[in-house]
Amino acid sequence: MTIELTGRVAREKIKLLEPPRLDADTLAQFEALGDASSAVSDALDALGVGGAVSGSVLRCIMPRARLVGTALTLRNAARDGDPHQLAQAKDSRMGEIECHNLARPGDVLVIQGVSGASNMGSVGGRMGKRQGERGAIVDGAVRDVPDFQDINYPIWSKEVTPMTGKWRVECVEINGPVKICGIDVHPGDLVVADGAGVCFVPRQHIAAVLAFAQKKVQAEADKCAEIDSGKSIVEMARR
């Protein structure tokens, strides 16, 4: 499928117009797990794969939010030069708008971002919401939090700031590999996020992670039912 670009970002910075996306059934099965980041993290541990980031590092702007989706990636870098002079020249080099233009339902915008300046604002969030994005993960700062809350667009980010990134941030690449809090993420990877944190699952491990997480969630539900039924701790421990 050919997508018309906005022209805001040089074409050579867009690595893939269509990243590999997960099928709706797989996403639905992960969603059925509920707050699944802990089970997914355990699955990644069992596979020897690093992919979990604490919720105290990437904090969600919305209480009790969760998401499951396919990674659509953006890599930003800090700009050189005086931001006030760049503002007067109206010289913006952000590429967030191109990501929203490429987005499809079920995508999660994953940004290797910049500290101290916003990598994403409310207008972009409204575009993303209309395109069907589930939300965003930002290793860096965002702003306009009340606006994102109003449209129910959850974001997990390191920072919140009032300062625009238009004159402080520039797009390096879209739909290439990014590093989020030390974790390598590729376009098309699975993203699972809730109040406990964020997990990134490489595509080749998604089936195994799902099978493990489903058993883990069911086992814990069974244990909770036993506790609620009054079964003794000694009996449960012997099992």
Annotated binding site for substrate: 143
- Cβ count near 222 (within 10 Å): 10
Rounded to whole angstroms, the Cα distance separating 199 from 50 reads: 9
Taking the alpha carbons at both ends of the chain, their separation in whole angstroms is 54
Annotated binding-site members for Mg(2+): 144
Closest residue by Cα to residue 163 from 114, 224, 125, 204? 114
Annotated binding-site members: 143-144
Q: Maximum CA pair distance of the chain?
A: 72
**HSE (CB half, 13 Å, CA atoms) of 179?**
3
What distances in angstroms separate CA 184 from CA 29, 53, 109, 193, 219, one per listed residue?
24, 12, 15, 16, 30
